[in-house]
Amino acid sequence: MAHVEEHDHHEELPFWRKYIFSEDHKVIAKQYMFSGIFWAIIGASLSILFRLQLGFPDMKLEWLRPILGGWIDESGRLDPEFYLALVTMHGTIMVFFVLTAGLSGTFSNFLIPLQVGARDMASGFLNMLSYWFFFVSSLLMFFSLFIETGPASGGWVIYPPLSALPQAMSGSGLGMTLWLLSMAIFIVSQLLGGINYITTVINLRTRGMSFSKLPLTIWAFLLTAILGLISFPVLLSAALLLIFDRSMGTSFYLSEIYIGGEALPNVGGSPILFQHLFWFLGHPEVYIVLLPALGITSEIIATNSRKPIFGYRAMIASMIGIAFLAFIVWAHHMFVTGMNPFLGSIFMFLTLIIAVPSAVKAFNYITTLWRGNIVFTPAMLFSIGLVSFFISGGLTGIILGNSALDIQLHDTYFVVAHFHLVMGAASAFGFLAGVYHWFPKFFGRMMNKTLGYIHFWFTFVGIYLVFFPMHYIGIAGFPRRYYSFTTYEAFRTFGDLNMFVSLAAIMTFSAQFLFLWNFFYSIFKGKKAPLNPWKSNTLEWTTPLHPGHGNWPGEIPPVYRWAYDYSKPGANDDFIPQNVPYSQTPESNLPHENALIALEKEIEAQNYNDQFKQPH
């Protein structure tokens, strides 16, 4: 076997190639992580602003004028149109920039090569492009926050005609143009990233790493990338057609409109077409956001319960099931848009089926805890919190997916509460759990555990305090995206509850500064991490403390077993890493595993799959 220390031959790259325009997946992952955190702060701050309006409608906000300028009117109140801009940008930023780019971008990039045993992504260059497209898209979106007419304000779903007609609201002018441009570039970035993830998982697995031995994180990232690759182009086409409608006089989405004292010439288009296209991405997007979080959770729960994940195959099957169903349920967002009611019943049926694989996942997580030996690292706490949110938020989906019940609840706070728990909070917890868990691998240092505990409890309790009462507001019929509820007699109740929710939101938001402090402090001053701090089985912990370009100094280790041999009966330790051959653990092998010893030679003789070398 050739044993050349390949990476030693690399010349030292200049700073800007090493840390800025880097092609190394670990650096790119960090770039995504910092960008994601930056956007999360902005996105969360926007939500605090509109929660102030909702919780304290009479509050004087003059103190915000230095930042918001004219958006605070003469009487010291938030401008109603700016309120809509806030909810729109909060949604856009959180869904796309934080939970799609921030979550997948960070962990798919970081973990795929490390956990499948690859030197780097299949194409480091495309990977770099992916980040920098994302960066440009971020710049445009960030810039749109500061223009005079305000950023896009028609809701994150940007339904035309509202988003198509600048005369309908000021945010539909330049702000919307920037939004569309930014999203178009964002989609390019996602596609470049996605192709890379898929290619890497399929082609660059190390010797012995068959699909049936892949950690569930990788399965989740792979399926996420496939979802994105199929659905994002549809959003791109929706956005392009909207750009045409806005700037080139086409009528894809516009028909029979009389606005601003004139009848527009457009006829024959359909706003419903946009909704179909949008939700064809929009629904899989929910899973693009959630699946990586579930993958991360699977890994963390198994590791810290010191138990194999329960039902590994069922977990994969349910993820595949969810990923497949994700494409054929989109119209449950459109039950009351005037879509054919027959279509509504089909989509109700398909939507409720999704509850089955989701339930299987939840039960499997719970059973993994059963008779474990649970170590509560901060990552573990966030993972358990995630499972709780996934259950609590997922259950209300059973109500909303039922078209007859959706009539009353559609576009009320019930929906807001539902998706914030199941996709927002759950995915954010996935991100946080991932950061806590892999921080030693990212930076070679440990985060402070105690601060992590406090951060968790404030955030976990806070999020429930925010979103649990929000269901009540929704059942009472309060519509979303309302600047204030005082116009209606039916919605005048619950002023106190809205105030409570706002206070809880402020508390939760404040608690995040604990995390930020812990995060940045630990990068520089954290305790030096051991090589495998959580006694985990996956390959990334076999790399050096600060893995260089190429990840492993020598050969890439081959893989002999699945990632979940925790607490195996007979074994000396309560974990057996994936790269330990069965021939070395005769004391703990199960009968069928003894038969696999014969295959070890075969695995070792396999093609290296090492990008840095010529294959034999």
Partner 1 sequence: MVYVVGLLSLVFLVLAILVLTRLTSVLKGVNGGDTTEDIEQIGSGNRVNAMLFMVFFITGAIAAAWSFIHASKFFLPEASSPHGRHTDGLFWLVMAIITIAFVVTNALLFFFAYKYQYRKNHKATYYPENHKLELIWTVIPAVVMAVLVFTGWRAWRDITKDAPENALAIEIVGKQFNWEMRYPGVDNNKLGNYNYKLIDANNSLGIDLEDEASFDDFTVSSEMHIPVNRPVLLKIRAKDVLHSVFIPHMRVKMDAVPGMPTRFWFIADKTTNDMRNETGNQSFKYEIACTEVCGKGHFSMRTTLVVDDEDSYKEWVAKQKPWLTNNPDYLARVPEKLKAKAAKYIPTDSAATPADSTAAPAQEGAGGAPSASLR
For residue 153, the one-letter residue type is: S
Q: Name the segment binding partner 1 (CB under 8 A); options: 109-117, 183-191, 240-248, 443-451.
A: 443-451
Query: Which window, 96-104, 111-119, 132-140, 453-461, contacts partner 1 (CB under 8 A)?
Result: 453-461
State yes or no: residue 133 binds partner 1 (CB under 8 A).
no
Length of the chain: 616
CB of 322 to partner 1, least distance (A): 13
Residue selected from 9, 258, 524, 592 as contacting partner 1 according to rule CB under 8 A: 258
Instruction: Report how far apart, in Å, the C-alpha atoms of 228 and of each of 97, 225, 554 are.
Output: 14, 5, 34
- Which of 384, 428, 433, 447 binds partner 1 (CB under 8 A)? It is 384
Residue of 13, 136, 230, 398 that binds partner 1 (CB under 8 A)? 398
- Using alpha carbons only, what angle is made at residue 355 by residues 237 and 467, rounded to the nearest 5 degrees? 80
Sole binder of partner 1 in the list 20, 240, 263, 605 (CB under 8 A): 263
What's the Cα-to-Cα distance from 233 to each of 160, 229, 278, 453, rounded to whole Å? Answer: 19, 7, 10, 41
The distance of closest approach from Cβ of residue 606 to partner 1 in the complex, given in angstroms and rounded to an integer, is 26
Q: Return the amino acid letter for 228.
A: G
Contacts to partner 1 from residues 497-516, by CB under 8 A: 497, 503, 506-507, 510-511, 514
Query: Is the bond leading into 161 cis (omega within 30 degrees of zero)?
Result: yes
User: Segment contacting partner 1 (CB under 8 A): 104-112, 198-206, 478-486, 601-609?
Assistant: 478-486
Helix axes 355-369, 341-353, angle to 10 degrees: 20
Per-residue binding letters, 150-189, with partner 1 (x by CB under 8 A)? ----xx---x-xx--x--xxx-------------------
Binding residues among 50-79 for partner 1 as defined by CB under 8 A = 52, 56, 58-60, 63, 70, 73-75, 77, 79
H/E run at residue 241: helix 216-247
- Of 202, 240, 490, 599, the residue at the interface with partner 1 (CB under 8 A) is 490
Cβ neighbours, 10 Å, residue 202: 12
Q: Pick from 212, 450, 607, 614 the residue near partner 1 by CB under 8 A.
A: 450
Please tell me the distance from the alpha carbon of residue 320 to that of residue 60, in angstroms, as a whole number: 51
Smallest gap from residue 57 Cβ to partner 1 (A): 9
E-assigned strand segments in 143-247: none
> Smallest gap, in angstroms, from Cβ of residue 520 to partner 1?
17
- Residue numbers 413-432 binding partner 1 by CB under 8 A: none
Nearer to partner 1 by Cβ, of 21 and 472: the residue is 472
Considering only residues 35, 224, 298, 392, which one is a binding residue for partner 1 as defined by CB under 8 A? 392
Cβ 224 to partner 1 shortest distance, Å: 23
- Please give the residues from 515 up to 534 whose contact with partner 1 meets the rule CB under 8 A: 527-530, 533-534
Q: How far is the CB of 510 from partner 1 (least distance, A)?
A: 6
Q: How far apart are CA 353 and CA 345, in angstroms?
A: 13
Largest CA distance in the chain: 84
Closest to 322 in 3D by CA, of 349, 296, 283, 348: 283
- Closer of 540 and 610 to partner 1 (Cβ): 540
Question: Is 504 within 8 Å of 466 (Cβ atoms)?
Answer: yes
Do residues 5 and 554 make contact, with C-beta atoms less than 8 angstroms apart? yes
Q: Which CB, 101 or 165, lies closer to partner 1?
A: 165
State the alpha helices, DSSP H only, in 476-590: 495-525
What is the secondary structure of 390-453 as a DSSP string? HHHHHHHHHHHTSHHHHHHHTTBHHHHHHHIIIIIIHHHHHHHHHHHHHHHHHHSBPPPHHHHH
* Candidate segments 15-23, 24-32, 198-206, 454-462, binder of partner 1 by CB under 8 A: 454-462
Interface with partner 1 includes 145 (CB under 8 A)? no
Which range binds partner 1 by CB under 8 A, 3-11, 97-105, 422-430, 457-465? Answer: 457-465
Per the CB < 8 A criterion, the answer to whether 322 and 354 are in contact is yes
Residue count, binding to partner 1 (CB under 8 A): 147
Least Å distance, CB 211 to partner 1, is: 17
Give the footprint of partner 1 on residues 544-603 (CB under 8 A).
564, 566-569, 574
Which residue number, 6 or 406, has a Cβ lying nearer to partner 1? 406
219 vs 232, which CB is nearer to partner 1? 219
Q: 322-361: which residues touch partner 1 (CB under 8 A)? A: 336-338, 341, 344-345, 348-349, 352-353, 355-356, 359-360
Distance, CA of 245 to CA of 161 (rounded, Å): 9
Core vs surface per residue 449-482: b (16+ CB within 10 A) or e = eebbebbbebbbebbbbbbebbbbbbeeebeeeb
